[in-house]
Amino acid sequence: MSKSNTATGAPKVGLFVTCLVDLMRPSVGFAAVKLLQDAGCEVEVPAAQTCCGQPAHNSGDKADTRAIARATIEAFERFDYVVAPSGSCAGMLKRHYPEIFADDSELGPRAAAFAEKVYELVSFLVDVRGLDKVDSAFDRKVTYHDSCAGLRELGIKEQPRQLLASVDGLELSEMDEAEICCGFGGTFCIKYPDVSNAIVEKKTANIAGSGADCLLAGDMGCLMNMAGKLSREGRTIEVRHVAEVLAGMTDGPAIASGGDDTA
Amino acid sequence: MKPTSHDFKSNAAHALEDEPLRRALSGIKHGFVANRARARENLPEFEQLRDEAKAIKEHTLAHLDLYLEAYEEKVVSSGGHVHWAATADDAQAAILDICRKAGARTVTKGKSMVGEEIAINDHLEQNGITPVETDLGEYLIQLRKEPPSHIIAPAIHLTREQVEEDFRRTHTGLPKDRVLDEPDQLVAEARSILREKFLSADVGITGANLLIAETGTSVIVTNEGNGDLTQCLPRIHIVIASIEKTVPTLEDAMTILRVLARSATGQEFSTYTTFSTGPKRPDDPDGPEEYHVVLLDNGRTEMLGGEFHDMLRCIRCGACMNHCPVYGAVGGHAYGWVYPGPMGAVLTPSLIGIDEAGHLPNASTFCGRCEAVCPMRIPLPKMMRHWREREYEKGNTPPRYKLGLKLWAYAARRPKLYRALTGLAMPVLARLGKRKGRFSSLPLAGGWTRHRDLPSPQGKTFQQLWRERKGRP
């Protein structure tokens, strides 16, 4: 899958930070940058990015979706690759943008060409950059939640596990039903809080059942949901984005944990 | 059935507090889901078979008028009758008419979701005819006066204890000391009651999983054999089926049956697969004297060629609901009408209107598991989104939600403004939540914090930090 422009120099990667990483957990963005740079990429972060548009898309608001999608394509189509530390947002860019513009003779082909370049971070490192190990250490027993869009829209399953296996001291203990939704669902968790809660309750029980003391996943939405539930339940399982562990940037507080607020 | 889909939220809230229901639903994982996974593992060509099955339905739908005419011709030439029903009312009227002409007092029924869709039991009862459900699950919910909660396992919401209780309450001849601890004992008890009903019925009504145009045959799959007794013992057999059940050939039917059972229950094939072609012929040892097919449209031709066209490929296996986290949490009754789960979230608004059923396509996390397991590869989340688009265009989106969405979108479409606003807000929020790293309540975030803490942001946004550090991690 690797493109050949590595021969002529480092591929230019546009980092699509994602709104939740940008606002809630910038450290994940910096972890992504480190991983990409270590994998020989030149990373840029276009200022003209906000969100992938899923809240509008999944609320049936076509006009705003198209406007946001168009702006994202315009900001990123000059790069060799567009990488996001989220399967959900990458799935939106890669799978949904071409559908959104399918009936548009100008933006349709552009969205399709753009989509070709889009990857979720960890699968990009493994599938495109050929990475099979990382240089980091994390002395923990972790469990990994497969976020839905990454798993089912982008086929992300083995890639994070492969890289996690190379982390010094890390032991992966799979939870039951790792592939089942955590109940976040974007605006779903706000529109149907009780149903969402019933789903995340099952998830946190499975997480606890794994015996792991740390939960990892590749999507901030799911992570915030699960971390928020674990903390409400008084469980002391630490929650982190997988990129933090792969980049060896685990010094700061975990998600929903107190302490230092610097990134 | 009077829909309560508009009450999805309160239906769901009740369901979530229903302990027996949650126990009953927890069995799906080790039953249907595990069995389907095993069946799929055991058939290397399963994925290819899905493509073939999908192609068969696509082809049929593209030429549905021709195949329906061909089907009718074959039914008639084999001595049967076809009744075209544009609406549920038409179908009710056609069935009642047949029953009246036959002087029927009791009607046995095989399991039929179309029967539920047209509420045939209520209609017959109102007209002095007693319908008796013969599928065990349907029989149970008929005793309880409940609608089905699943399209292939109508009583999946019940525990064994509840069933025992219902039998002791309604089967007056049942000795108090009879042991009903095991499912087999419950089945035997139901059989002993139903046996009499089979023999006394004047008319038997079944659904159809498939209608074969080539031969004029209707096909049902069951695991109890009740369907066979329902259609062979009474003098008259009525098949009630919606028009999209048609397939061109017997060969096509076999392809679909191979994915149907595996997707539904994980069986390679259902225990009984029954083919019915016309009434009893002179040399046949048994069979009905009259064979009627009521073909229901009820909004389906409106779906052809439109945004919800793909939904007409559905073969009612139930895999989507078995794998749905929302269905698994609240069960089928919360959806408030005949068809629950993801397939219901798409189909129900088509049949009873988006104003009544607006919650259903919204009550999905879009986890995509339904589409992943659908044997006909129906893009269920995409079609739920189409319903959300229609709602949005109609102005049905709740005002507060829409206002929030619009404010957010206004900023999200203007990166400079967005950076300025978030750059101001996040550090403030971070300071407020710094000590614990989370909020247990926060204005405007009640939907989130009712059940879980909200992690607080780290501080400045990534965009701020990135510019400040000039791209150095």
Q: Residue B94 is inside which H or E element, if any?
A: helix B88-101
Q: Which residues pair with B238 in a beta bridge?
A: B205, B292
pLDDT at residue A261, rounded to an integer: 36
The verdict on B363 touching A (C-beta cutoff 8 Å) is yes
Note whether B334 and B16 are within 8 A (CB): no
Mean pLDDT, residues B285-296: 96
CATH class of the domain whose range is B64-301: alpha beta
- How far apart are alpha carbons B198 and B191 in whole angstroms? 10
Asked if pLDDT for residue A96 goes beyond 90, the answer is yes
Q: What is the largest CA-CA distance in chain B?
A: 91
User: A4-128 with A141-246: one CATH topology?
Assistant: yes
Residues listed for chain A? 263
Per residue in B37-78, pLDDT (tens digit) is: 999 999 999 999 999 999 999 999 999 999 999 999 999 999
The mean predicted confidence, pLDDT, of chain B is: 95
- DSSP annotation string for B211-230: EETTTTEEEEEESSSHHHHH
Residue B209 gets which letter from DSSP?
A: S
CB atoms within 10 A of CB B140: 22
Confidence of residue A108 (pLDDT cuts 50, 70, 90): very high
The verdict on B340 touching A (C-beta cutoff 8 Å) is no
- Looking at per-residue pLDDT, the higher value among B186 and A97 belongs to A97
Mean pLDDT, residues B91-97: 98
Chain B residue at shortest CA distance from A176: B29
CB pairs < 8 Å spanning A and B:
232
pLDDT at residue A260, rounded to an integer: 42
CB atoms within 10 A of CB B80: 22
Exposed/middle/buried for residue A7 (C-beta within 10 Å: 0-12, 13-18, 19+): exposed
Contact residues, chain B, for A257 at CB < 8 Å: 437-438
Confidence of residue A263 (pLDDT cuts 50, 70, 90): very low
pLDDT at residue B74, rounded to an integer: 98
Interchain contact, A29 vs B451, CB within 8 Å:
no
CATH of domain A141-246: 3.40.50
Share of chain A above pLDDT 70, in %: 95
Number of helices (H), then strands (E), belonging to chain B: the values are 26, 12
Q: Which of B305, B307, B373 is nearest to B342 (CA)?
A: B373
pLDDT at residue A21, rounded to an integer: 98
Q: Which of A37, A194, A256 sits opposite B453 (nearest CB)?
A: A256
The verdict on A68 touching B (C-beta cutoff 8 Å) is yes
What pairing do the DSSP bridges indicate for beta strands A42-44 and B210-212?
A: unpaired
- Amino acid letter for position B443: P
Note whether B229 and B198 are within 8 A (CB): yes
pLDDT at residue A132, rounded to an integer: 97
- How far apart are alpha carbons B231 and B293 in whole angstroms? 12
The verdict on A225 touching B (C-beta cutoff 8 Å) is yes
ipTM: 0.95
Q: Residue A64 is inside which H or E element, if any?
A: helix A62-76
Per residue in B393-431, pLDDT (tens digit) is: 999 889 989 999 999 999 999 999 999 999 999 999 999
Spans of all domains in chain A: 4-128, 141-246
Per residue in B367-400, pLDDT (tens digit) is: 999 999 999 999 999 999 999 999 999 998 899 8
Q: Which of A185, A180, A169, A221 is nearest to A204 (CA)?
A: A180
Spans of all domains in chain B: 1-42+318-397, 64-301, 407-469
Interchain contact, B452 vs A232, CB within 8 Å:
yes
The verdict on B34 touching A (C-beta cutoff 8 Å) is no
The verdict on A41 touching B (C-beta cutoff 8 Å) is no
Q: Which of A45, A57, A199 sits opposite B325 (nearest CB)?
A: A199
Q: What is the pTM of this model?
A: 0.95
- DSSP3 helix / strand / coil % (chain B, rounded to 5): 55, 10, 35
Interchain contact, B422 vs A23, CB within 8 Å:
yes
Per residue in A138-188, pLDDT (tens digit) is: 999 999 999 999 999 999 999 999 999 999 999 999 999 999 999 999 999
Asked if pLDDT for residue B470 goes beyond 90, the answer is no
Looking at the structure, give the CATH architecture of the domain made up of residues A4-128: 3-Layer(aba) Sandwich (3.40)
